[in-house]
Homo-oligomer: A and B are copies of this chain.
Amino acid sequence: MNTFPKGFKSCSINAGIKDHTLDFTILFSDVRASAAAMFTKNQFCGAPIVIGKESVADGYLQAIAVNSKNANVATGNKGLEDARKVTEAVAQELAIHSNDVLPSSTGIIGVPLPVEKILTAIPGLKNQLKEDGLEESAKAIMTTDTYPKFRTRQVGSITISAMAKGSGMIEPNMATMLSYILTDAAIEPPLLQKMLKRAVDVSFNSVSVDGDTSTSDTVVIMANGLAGDVDLVEFESVLTNLCIDLAKEIARDGEGATKLVEVQVTGADDDVIAKKIGKSIINSPLVKTAIFGEDPNWGRIMSTIGNSTDKVNTEAVSVSFADVYVFKNGAPTEDKRAELEEYLKNNEVLIRISLGDGPGTSTVWGCDLSYDYVKINGEYTT
């Protein structure tokens, strides 16, 4: 049984948005909490993103209201009105300011939100709020995820609980990634925002669900202070590892995924180029299908590197799968096909790329591309 952060309650229900599974959840703090958030930069961002940015702008929130099964994206002005109605209904039910409620939606794009169903479901939810419901909330925010993603960590007497959903891994620019982090530590909003950004950059923004490009991506942290002060260095370290854990779970549970893939890039001119190359490899359908097929077709990695930047010194490039080197200092090693085929049977695949002696490094995570990915995405709405 997890310990949850003090003063947080939640409830999860089925509002009948698409089917009979959990599709609506409220995360509530007994007191207004310091809050920070990062949102997608997609030009067609969801209506809830627009309102969420307004809500968190003053650095405080008291509740998060999330529906799955419908993203309320590309729904025009009605989408915005619908998101406001939900936000206001939740605020009224919880007797708080609507500006302290952050709405989130995930699911299909371009279909009007069945707002009446949600508005009908909200009255009475306050009485359903409970202190041990966070794992249920992690279920309620799922779309094509195959399991809920939830973690709790302690920092002294402080508790941090975090949930996330992901899936749709084949390209960063299409997946939706949500994460809500609750803690009873006392941390001022500006500092909370700085720590969240640093943690997200090396975690959620380093899986091939990319926080800066999908239509609904949202990461929110609420710190209500009910457990008092915390060692900030220790807190940020635990927060970062918590986010990395969840990010890897998102990759592992990518649509149709059978393998978790980690790419470590070192020796780049800078971290930006290292991350660009890592992302290109983790997102290359030809690399992903080869890994799914356990096919030692490592040449596709060379081609992806060659496409990622015009700044690579091919003479200095080395590539290995864990410790199996297939390419060293610009030339292929003696045929490692047999060893590589053996290694590729693992359900976690590590690809190491050394570009030379530059200071730039990056680690990114993704998954393979399977028949099930095609099946899931060819039949998503039907």
Question: Number of residues in A with C-beta < 8 Å to the partner?
Answer: 66
Instruction: Confirm or deny: A97 has a beta carbon within 8 angstroms of a beta carbon on chain B.
Output: no
> A326-B110, A327-B74, A331-B77 are known contacts. Are A380 and B214 too (CB-CB below 8 A)?
no
Q: Is the CB of A303 within 8 A of B382?
A: no
Instruction: Confirm or deny: A305 has a beta carbon within 8 angstroms of a beta carbon on chain B.
Output: yes
Instruction: Confirm or deny: A146 has a beta carbon within 8 angstroms of a beta carbon on chain B.
Output: no
Interface stretch, picked from A134-142, A218-226, A289-297, is A289-297
Q: Is the CB of B168 within 8 A of A109?
A: no
Smallest CB-CB separation from A382: which chain B residue? Answer: B295
Q: Is the CB of B44 within 8 A of A379?
A: no
Smallest CB-CB separation from A215: which chain B residue? Answer: B303
Closest chain-B Cβ to A139's Cβ sits at a distance in Å of: 24
Q: Is the CB of A327 within 8 A of B110?
A: yes
In whole angstroms, what is the CA distance A45 to B307 when docked? 10
> A286-B174, A302-B74, A314-B43 are known contacts. Are A378 and B215 too (CB-CB below 8 A)?
no
Q: Would you list which residues of chain A between 124 and 158 have a CB under 8 Å from chain B?
A: none
Name the contact of A292 in the complex, choosing from B292, B332, B374 (C-beta under 8 A). B374
* A interface: dominant SS: loop
Smallest CB-CB separation from A77: which chain B residue? Answer: B331
| Chain B contacts for A75, CB-based, 8 A | 331-332
Instruction: Confirm or deny: A241 has a beta carbon within 8 angstroms of a beta carbon on chain B.
Output: no
Q: Is the CB of B377 within 8 A of A306?
A: no
| Chain B contacts for A78, CB-based, 8 A | 331
Instruction: Confirm or deny: A264 has a beta carbon within 8 angstroms of a beta carbon on chain B.
Output: no
Name the contact of A299 in the complex, choosing from B108, B289, B307 (C-beta under 8 A). B108
Chain A residues with a Cβ under 8 A of chain B: 41-45, 71, 73-78, 108-112, 168, 170-171, 173-174, 213-215, 280, 284-286, 289-290, 292-293, 295-300, 302-307, 309-310, 312, 314, 326-327, 330-332, 369-371, 373-375, 377-382
